[in-house]
C-alpha cells in the first residue's frame, strides 16, 4: 500500500458526511482503503467484486458508464470508473452530490497514474495468445509447395487392338475406327438447320390477363347478370299487370 495514495483518498473526507473511500482493481481486488475499522478487508474485497461485476454487466450490453450510485437504506456507495479499477466512496443519504462528484473527479485524476503499478497483469490462459503476437516466439517450418502434375491422357483405341472392360474384366477386339472411351463411334448426326424467322408472318401471341383485368371482367359479368334479372322481373310484373287490367 502507498501512503501517498492513502493521503489522496483521505482528502475526500473534506466533503461533509463522507464515511470513507477505497480503491479496487478491475477484477475487484482491494488496492487501497481509507475506511473505518469496522469495515475489514474481507468486506471491502466482496464489495469490490460486486462493483466490478456491475460495471462488466453494463459493458456487456454496450453501456459504457463512468459513474454508478448504489443506494441503500441508510447510506450511499458512489463509484467511479478509473483507468484500471474503481473508486468507491461511502456516504450518508443526505450527502451533497455536486460537491461529492467534484471531489471524486479531482481524486480520480490524481490516483489514475499511480494505480497502474498496484494492478497485477491478468494471468494468461493456456492457448489464449495468438501466434505472432508481441512477446510470443514461434518457429515456422517451411512447407514445400505441391508439385503440379500433368493431366493423364485418355487412352485412344485403334482398330485391331484388344480392349479390356474395367467392370467385367473381359477382353474384346476393337474393330471400329479410333475412338475414345465414353464416346460413341460413327458419324456425328447434326440436327437439321432451322429456317430463319419470316418477318412478314406475325408471331402468335398468347393473351394473358392481369389480376385487375380478371377482377374487372368478373364484376362486369356479374353486373350484366343482375341487369338481366331486373329486366326479366320487370317484364313479368308488366305481364301480370296487363292480365289484371284485361280481366277488369
Predicted confidence at residue 211, as pLDDT, reads 80
**Distance between first and last Cα of the chain:** 129
What stretches in the chain show pLDDT beneath 50? 1, 124-143, 178, 181-183
Continuous H helices in the chain: 3-10, 41-60, 97-115, 211-247
The string of pLDDT tens digits covering residues 197-230 is 777 766 666 567 788 888 888 888 888 888 888 8
Predicted confidence at residue 198, as pLDDT, reads 74
CA distance 42 to 40: 6
CA distance 72 to 74: 6
Kindly report the three-state secondary structure assignment for every residue of 8-30: HHHHHHHCCCCCEEEEEECCCCE
Predicted confidence at residue 238, as pLDDT, reads 79
Q: What are phi and psi of 185, to 5 degrees?
A: -85, 160
Orientation angle between helical segments 97-115 and 3-10, nearest 10 degrees: 170
Domain boundaries, the chain: 3-118, 214-248
Residue 23 pairs in a beta bridge with: 32, 87
CA distance 83 to 116: 8
| Predicted TM-score (pTM) of this structure | 0.47
- The closest of 11, 10, 31 to 84, measured between CA atoms, is 31
Own/partner pairs, 159-165, CB within 8 angstroms, 24+ separation: none
Cα dist. 63→55, 67, 80, 140, 153 in Å?
9, 12, 15, 42, 66
Predicted confidence at residue 141, as pLDDT, reads 41
- 3-state secondary structure at position 163: strand
Q: What's the grid cell of residue 118?
A: 498496484
CA distance 222 to 110: 89
Into which CATH architecture does domain 3-118 fall?
2-Layer Sandwich (3.30)
Amino acid at each position: 500500500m502507498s501512503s501517498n495514495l492513502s493521503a489522496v483518498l483521505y482528502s475526500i473526507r473534506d466533503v461533509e458526511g463522507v464515511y470513507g473511500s477505497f480503491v479496487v482493481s478491475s477484477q475487484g481486488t482491494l488496492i487501497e482503503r481509507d475506511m473505518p475499522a469496522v469495515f475489514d478487508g474481507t468486506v471491502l474485497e466482496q464489495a469490490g467484486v460486486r462493483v466490478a461485476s456491475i460495471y462488466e454487466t453494463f459493458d456487456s450490453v454496450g453501456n459504457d458508464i463512468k459513474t454508478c450510485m448504489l443506494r441503500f437504506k441508510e447510506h450511499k456507495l458512489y463509484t467511479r470508473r478509473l483507468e484500471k479499477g474503481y473508486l468507491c466512496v461511502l456516504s450518508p443519504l443526505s450527502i451533497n452530490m455536486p460537491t461529492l462528484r467534484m471531489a471524486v473527479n479531482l481524486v480520480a485524476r490524481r490516483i489514475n497514474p499511480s494505480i497502474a503499478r498496484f494492478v497485477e497483469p491478468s494471468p494468461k490462459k493456456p492457448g489464449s495468445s495468438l501466434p505472432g503476437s508481441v512477446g510470443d516466439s514461434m518457429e515456422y517450418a517451411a512447407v514445400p509447395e505441391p508439385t503440379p502434375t500433368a493431366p493423364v491422357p485418355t487412352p485412344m483405341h485403334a482398330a485391331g487392338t484388344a480392349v479390356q472392360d474395367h467392370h467385367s474384366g473381359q477382353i474384346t477386339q476393337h474393330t471400329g475406327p479410333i475412338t475414345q472411351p465414353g464416346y460413341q463411334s460413327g458419324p456425328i448426326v447434326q440436327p437439321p438447320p432451322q429456317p430463319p424467322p419470316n418477318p412478314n408472318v406475325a408471331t402468335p401471341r398468347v393473351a394473358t390477363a392481369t389480376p385487375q383485368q380478371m377482377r374487372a371482367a368478373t364484376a362486369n359479368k356479374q353486373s350484366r347478370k343482375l341487369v338481366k334479372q331486373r329486366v326479366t322481373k320487370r317484364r313479368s310484373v308488366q305481364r301480370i299487370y296487363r292480365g289484371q287490367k284485361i280481366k277488369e
